[in-house]
Amino acid sequence: QAGRNFNHLVQSTKADEHQLVTSGVYSWCRHPSYVGWFLWSVGTQVVLLNPVCFLLYGYVSFIFFNERIYVEEYTLISFFGDKYRDYQRKVSTGIPGIRGFQGPAM
């Protein structure tokens, strides 16, 4: 669904073809690939019965995605403005405790 809009690097300029995708899996959570990675990183430790790494992976992953989503959403708000703000209000990031950028409008 995201197609060419998806990139592993946070973009700093909006390309003409960039579109805000809010349907499909993006209607369930704003960052489905991050949710998947987060669940994989902690889930593997549950399967391996490794409580120390479960806690460490959970902590490190939370810190990483909290910062990454904050920066990414700052950029998305600068690209899409109120359209993205409305999307934020309706759909969570998908990772409990991570809200994304909630600062003043730009």
Tokens describing residue 88? 């934020």
CA distance 54 to 46: 7
User: What's the mean pLDDT when you consider all of the chain?
Assistant: 90
- Please say whether the beta carbons of 36 and 93 come within 8 A: no
- Residue 40: its H or E element: helix 32-47
pLDDT tens per residue across span 53-85: 999 999 999 999 999 999 999 999 999 999 999
pTM, two decimal places: 0.85
Rounded to 10°, the helix 51-80/32-47 angle is 180
Of the listed ranges 27-36, 52-61, 80-89, 97-106, the least confidently predicted one is 97-106
Q: Residue 7 pLDDT more than 70?
A: no
Burial zone of 22 (CB within 10 Å; 0-12 exposed, 13-18 middle, 19+ buried): middle
